[in-house]
Structure 1
Amino acid sequence: MAERSTAAVGVAENSGDEETLTARSDKASVDSATDGQSGSDRPPEDTRSDAPAATAGNQDSGTADGTSPAGPAGDPGSPGDQSGPSPDHGPSAAADGPFQTQDQTQQLGTAGVTGTGAVEEAVAAPSSAATPEPPELHSGHKLARRYRLEECVTRLDGFSSWRAVDEKLRRAVGVHILPSGHPRARTVLSAARSSALLGDPRFVQVLDAVEDHDLVYVVHEWLPDATPLSDILAAGALEPHDAYQLVTQVSQAMAAAHREGLAHLRLTPGTVLRTGSGQYRIRGLAVNAALRGIGSDTPQRTDTEGIGALLYAALTQRWPYEEDAYGLTGVGSLAKRTLVAPDQVRAGVHRGLAQLAMRALVNDGATASSQEQPCATPEELAKAASALPRIRPPETSFSSPGPYQRTTYQQGAYGQGGAHARPAPGMGGGHGSPSDPAAPPALPGRTGKILKWGVSALLIAALGLGSWQVADTLLKGDNSPGKGTGQTQGNDETGGTGKPVKIVDAKDFDPPPGGNGSENPGKVPDAYDGSQGTYWLTQKYYGRPDFGNLKPGAGLVLDLGKPQPVSSVEVDFMGTTTADLRAAPGDTAAMPTSLDGFSKVSGGTGKHLDLKTKKPVKTRYVLVWLTELPLSDDGNYRGRITEIQVKS
């Protein structure tokens, strides 16, 4: 067994009783203010004179008695908090157990990330100044005459978090509110604005960050269909395919964030949400750490360990630290100062995923079954996950039908009270005697005759009507003018000639809303170069074939050089794909930039589509518009066009 990681990052929350609201959210949200555990013993750093003084509401919980307000996805609490205060364990907070040491924690009052574009570290508050109390707000209060506060989710360490309504756009949002004099107010604003600039749909988006007089507030998305990972794990460990999707999506998302100089530092089961489509989204990027003043000298290592802890918990339904947290039992009691591999904690764990979790959690990368190098960054973890053999989703199981049951009528129970069902006197036996089964009775005389004649009449009428319709169709078909005489030889059924039309140019088409204007433009020529071995491909999309429910579609615009008649477009895909054929008006001089500039002509689903028009369409610009993508080997949805041919 490998030695436990000592790279603890973050700061344990201050001890003390807190007075918070016990409100519960009735909808899933993305409140990143708090996501996990109750505060416990203060680490040694907090006892120094330059540390902020402890105030009421300094525990990371939601109620004064140690329980935390939990909602489907918006409440930061988790079921594991209801047992009372316990240390906040995980890759983002220092613990009092043997897995973490004093010199690895950071002072409260910092939320910076080392690296380009990172959030700068906040200045610690003077020893004589206490953390300001959260503003006294109430339900119905409006911010900027727009955001109406509905329900207080939590009050913690001088800030409060609310479920609110954006009255301008009529949608639910989440709001974090601090007094403008809070020592971390500027850091929170900076973190929120940096996170908003990322614009990655895999993260819960920051919608607004404002300093308004004596208040600072951050507005973010509220996802009604999302469920925190902590709630999912409460029902049991994930299947290997679901765990693979979790580590792949989260590591790829965090790798993209770190490339922009942003870190999370508090990745826990409460900050990772799964939407109804199966896509994972991360809340609280940069903001979650800034609200608590958490920083790290090695932010990439911190987030990598956080992802490893999530994967460990998903495989075993256990928390890979000494104390219980997030409703999960800790594994510290199994082996002191060592971390047991997931496949030794729970039977049936996928071997490759178990090794991947250990590589992310253990510094030296050594596990009981592997000597692979550790994963020190989310980028390395994402590459290691993609190198695993494909993990197929579980097959849908269907229950076998029960044994055939004879009906009451078949069992001869109809009219059992009649004379035919009674045994003859002196013969012995009674009703239902197996030695003398009763024969199924016939229907009563008059009723049976009426039923038989009625069924016969219906059959005769149906047969006669069908014969008449067939005869009428044949007669009309023989007498139709122009049948077989009006077509020019060599033309197909659309009236076209079937001759190939040269594609002069092509361009990727990814318009708003949802699109960013670019969909692998460098690969566009490969879609019409005459070779089946090359192809144009879309970006990767997660969870759903309809572009992850992020946009209506994407495709290629074909420039024919001048307006020409088009009767069909043949498209070859890799994998079953749904696509439409759209055409611009014939008098269009420039390539349209929006989907409204094209009209739908035809559509279909398959690997080889022959999209035909009812009659030749004269146009210069033809759009092959993909709407549903096939599932790739890596578990993502991605479209690939190997060849396109336009015919007149």
Structure 2
Amino acid sequence: MQGIGEDTVLADRYTLTRMLAQRDDQELWIAFDSTLDREVTATVFRATSAHADAALDSARRAAGVEDHHLPRVLDVGVQDGTAYVITEALHGAESMASLLQFDRLPAEEVRRLIGEAASGLGAAAARGLHHLRLTPHDIVRSPDGAVSVLGLPTDAALAGTDDVSSDEASRIDTVALVEIAYAGLTSRWPGDEPVPGLLDAERRADGELPAPSELAPGVPGDLDTLCRTTLGADEGPRTPGELARQLAPWSSERVSDSGRRPSRPASAGPAAALQSVPGGAPSATRMPGRPALAKAPDDRENTDAATDSRATAPVPQADHDADETAQISRSVLDAARERTARPPAAHDDDYDPSFTELEPPVPGLTGRFEPDRSSSKLALLLVALLVLVAVVFAFIGLRGIGGGSDKAAAGATSQSASPSASASASRSASPSSSPSPSATPIDITYVGYYGTGSSENPQMMRNVIDGDPSTYWQSFRYGSAALGGVKSGTGLLLNLGSSQKVGSIKITTTGGPSTINFYVTDEVGPVSTKQPAATLTGSGTQTATLNDATGKYITVWVTQLSQQDTGEYRERINEIQVLS
């Protein structure tokens, strides 16, 4: 978009730092709010476009919808022909489209994601707001498992598709949610318009869309029926609120494997039912859940509070349908045991596909839940051997104390005889171990992520300049020191505010040795074709001499990761100080 780029400042407050996505009619940026010292998301578009006024009005109405599934609208305005909508940033969130790059999702995680999204869109529908352009890219999951829906304030208005009736708009959003559920269950997109990053579902010879159960095993009966009736017969729920009630109950936490649908014992009362309703037991960063309300009338009339963000989807009081999965059979138990012997199918927020689970810690033990009698005896024997070895080494160490003290005394005498020579040798061995006494700190105005793919733990980046060595930023974990072979490096981008001469940089890391390259530039760009100003290959606190290199940005580029005490490979940076 003309006139918009990196370092553009909107409303004398929001500095655009990194573009996330671009369409013909809008751009999505990460921006820095200098007033509140935090990152935000900025949607910008031309104020002269045909639908700009409608989009701004829609964004202002969206600001009045208080629902934790919808990113809060913080500011709306126009500056120099550019319209902008500022919303809260969702650090580390991944879209369903991104999650489906690896494999299809567990069925109960699909139920949870779509149910949470439907609850948010139901709350918006009660205020007359509809999405109308919903795809798997618009439903995102944060590292804590929270679900958010993107694009509600502006997407429909900018596309000029917001002139349909309320009933029709609710049906469009509901069908889109079911299409996304189909994609989550099968990793195939059933819609007419292709979605970037997803394969299209191939129709049968009769032209009908195959049911999810025909493409993937283990699809619950109710989800299979929902997709068949909604996408194949134009039946099923008509509004997001109806869809949320039909999907409930779902897990209150992220389902990371082939988890089961939450069920309620027949003897449990209403209090037990609240444990698995939407919004239950949310993370600390989200709004606390409220008790479930009694079932309300159809929300197509928008006359009840069932779609209000303060209410959660009701728990059906009837018995579960025929696909009840609460009982664990022998075959399920055997399958669970088999899963313990192979890498997990679902990844946590910082899981890298090249990472391989470690072998069992005690040789001879299998992946069963409980060791048998022979395995227990083997483990006890190994423990006894370890204790015996420890006792032998302790005895040898005690014998060496007397002789060692004499050698230490002689060494101390020799050391005191030539202190100046020792000090001189120390300085010549590590010329960059400490900065010049005249060096002064240079302020770092902003710390951002540098690298390919999704930003790695951006909420931790400012820890490297907070002056507290007990805090840190850490990368994702990888399968090897060379980042598992999936990328060439990862790191941080330091913004000094203006072009300055840099004498040295002091960095403190945790873990084993790593390789860190430093680049000083006036523009942000690829470093693969540049020579680093300095390179460090150690650990702990180190100082790199940059020889008065001049630039506005310092790229801290890690090409070999530290191995932490836990055995995992990830870089952990505690503090960074730039000196003149």
What TM-score results when the alignment is normalised by the length of structure 2?
A: 0.44
Higher relative contact order (CA 8 A, sep 6+): 1
Kindly indicate which of the two structures has a greater share of residues assigned to helix: 2
What TM-score results when the alignment is normalised by the length of structure 1?
A: 0.39
